[in-house]
Amino acid sequence: MEGAPWVRPSPIHGTSSPLTGIPMTYRYIVVVDSPASVAFGPPVGLDDATLAELKIRLRLAAGRTRIYACMDTPLIRMKGGIVLGHLFNHNGDRIVGDKHFPTFSDHASCVQHLIGNYWGEYVLVWVGHGDAYEASITRDPSGGVRCVYSFEAGTGFVTSDPVLPEGFGLYRREVDWEGIALGLNYPHVSTQRTALMGITELLPGRSLHIRNSGTTTISEWSPWMHVNSDLRHGNLRDATEDVRQSVRTSVRAWANVDRKILVELSGGLDSSIVTACLQDTSARVTCSTLLTPVPGADEREYAAQAAADLGVALHHAPMEFNDARFEFLPPTHLVRPRINALQYAINQAIERVGVEQDTAAYYSGGGGDTVFGYLGNAAPAVDALRERGLCAGISAIRDLSELHGCTHWTATRLMLKKLIRAPKSPWRPDSSFLDQRKAGSVVLETHPWLADASAALPGDRERIASLAVTQVFRDTAPRSERRCLRLPLLSQPVVESTLRVPSWMSIIGGQNRSVARAAFADVLPPHVHARRSKGNFLQYCGSMFQRNRVSMREFLLSGELQARGLLDGSTLAAFLDSPAYRDNTFMRVIDLCMIENWVRHQR
């Protein structure tokens, strides 16, 4: 980003480092210095003792580019660059050396080979061999490795965590208040814009090219590559086999890496599928499920069945009200507010089990609703009509009617309404409790995946919009700071195989995610396989809100957001002073506290 707060480095040896004691997996920084600075030595003012203290070392130096990574970060060297992270082939075998790669003439051919033949969680750093760029950075389609950057006139850094360039003396943290205003209106949407001044996120599946004159980004992978009619599955049998194979391969590949796994069992379909795929692996698997002190989220009945099929005990992770804190220190890598009181409480409960069981990685079914095609409207019927004709449309209407428990006439009316309605933005702003004079003028930029989607089938468009939102899942779990957090259902092979399934096929038989259900029918507990609903944490959040109403009022009305004029203080105060609530508006207050807390800790 032009105009980034780039500063020349200063030595920090002998000072207290913000990095010491923080887990280092997938932690890296790529520094591209100015041509003049190269003549005077390394672009970062760090000596060997400091690098050793921070558990970071130089992995590659080429021209103006230096790549530093922690000692625990996996890497694969190749002629022209380095792959930081984990890489697998289509069989799920881990790639640990460069013998699998030919000599690439340029960055484009290297990326094409990687994305077409491999998958994983990685960032490719290409250092200019055969290209006009000083360096190029590519983030894998799953977004499993964090990647943000800051550049001015071709000089700057790419990193997994802004605290690294801060520690190196390359960056001074400053809140971007326009980014905060954007987050207030769209608290659960991610684009390349962050809430830190001068810091931009490189979105999954994209490359950053760095020149003396500045930077450019291009798309290397897009979900639209896999919804092409030539790639679509035409029958349920082929679709189920493809989905089953991709999910099993991805889960088992990660299990061979992590070895000691804690599965977060929600009792629903998605986490149960992940658990079932861990059968017959050599990993030591433990299962846990969350418990709340109020009704609504008790999933023990269903989670116990999935754990029993795996032959392991189910550990309970109680969530106490005291776990739900709205004021806490956020992880340093967060470049925008992401963790609210509920997510903090979930993290605390799961972490207690993780520590007790000596877990190496947490496994979640997060993203399963999206990748398995869970759409709660009439879009699948419209897709069937437009893609396969009248007979397919009528069949989808029957499925839609059974799925939602409505008449065929109602399903038809909803389908026709969806058919003739012009596409709208999938994300609507939430302006409640905001002062629109200060917070209402921001515009959400179009996500690259949705830039030219107006003519697409509505089901495809909505699935891909939801897929873009799944990128926030990794940032809502601070437990990933201490142990790996795996979301196997967001792995590239799984996403690609499920995109090849038409949306209408995912409601066959009047069931949501019907292809996923069919793919794993023989290994899922019958009650889980047939389940259509799931518990939620709404009662827990409501009780937590009531207990903290007074302190939340003080926190928000004496905070940074109010001081900046971003909040409608009188309306917010009136709501918080009311002794009762009739809807879920209190969740909005919880999100406002999330943003306020993040802002306060950026000083």
Gap between the Cα atoms of 551 and 536, Å rounded:
25
Tally DSSP H helices, then E strands, for the chain. 22, 17
The model's pLDDT over 26-59, given as tens digits with 9 standing for 90+, comes to 899 999 987 655 444 454 446 676 677 667 889 9
> Is it the case that residue 414 has pLDDT exceeding 70?
yes
Assigned token pair, 594: 């999330």
Gap between the Cα atoms of 580 and 294, Å rounded:
18
Residue 523: predicted pLDDT:
96
Residue 28: predicted pLDDT:
94
Gap between the Cα atoms of 306 and 267, Å rounded:
8
Is CATH 3.40.50.2300 the classification given to domain 28-221? no
Residue 13: predicted pLDDT:
29
Tell me the C-alpha to C-alpha distance, in Å, between residue 345 and each of 125, 299, 540.
37, 17, 10
Residue 87: predicted pLDDT:
96
Gap between the Cα atoms of 255 and 35, Å rounded:
44
The model's pLDDT over 263-314, given as tens digits with 9 standing for 90+, comes to 999 989 999 999 999 998 999 999 999 999 998 888 999 999 999 999 999 9
Gap between the Cα atoms of 362 and 265, Å rounded:
11
Sheet strands side by side (includes 75-78): 75-78, 81-89, 118-126, 135-139, 206-211, 214-219
DSSP H or E run through 60: strand 56-62
* For the chain, domain boundaries: 28-221, 226-371+468-529, 373-466, 538-600
> Is it the case that residue 6 has pLDDT exceeding 80?
no
Taking the CA atoms of residue 194, residue 196, residue 198 and residue 202 in that order, the dihedral angle to the nearest 10 degrees is -30
Q: Which of residues 34 and 346 earns the better pLDDT score?
A: 346
Confidence of residue 490 (pLDDT cuts 50, 70, 90): very high
For the chain, give the percent of residues with pLDDT over 70. Answer: 93
The model's pLDDT over 204-257, given as tens digits with 9 standing for 90+, comes to 999 999 988 889 999 999 999 999 878 899 999 999 999 999 999 999 999 999
The model's pLDDT over 114-169, given as tens digits with 9 standing for 90+, comes to 999 999 999 999 997 667 778 999 999 999 999 999 998 888 999 999 988 988 88
> Is it the case that residue 22 has pLDDT exceeding 50?
no
Residue 16: predicted pLDDT:
32
For the chain, give the percent of residues with pLDDT over 90. Answer: 74
Q: How wide is the angle at C-alpha 406 spanned by C-alphas 404 and 408, nearest 5°?
A: 115
Of 548, 140, 551, 101, residue with least CA distance to 342:
548
**Mean pLDDT score, 107-120:** 95
**Mean pLDDT score, 396-412:** 95
Pick the CATH number of 226-371+468-529 from 3.30.465.10, 3.40.50.300, 3.30.420.40, 3.40.50.620: 3.40.50.620
Residue 554: predicted pLDDT:
97
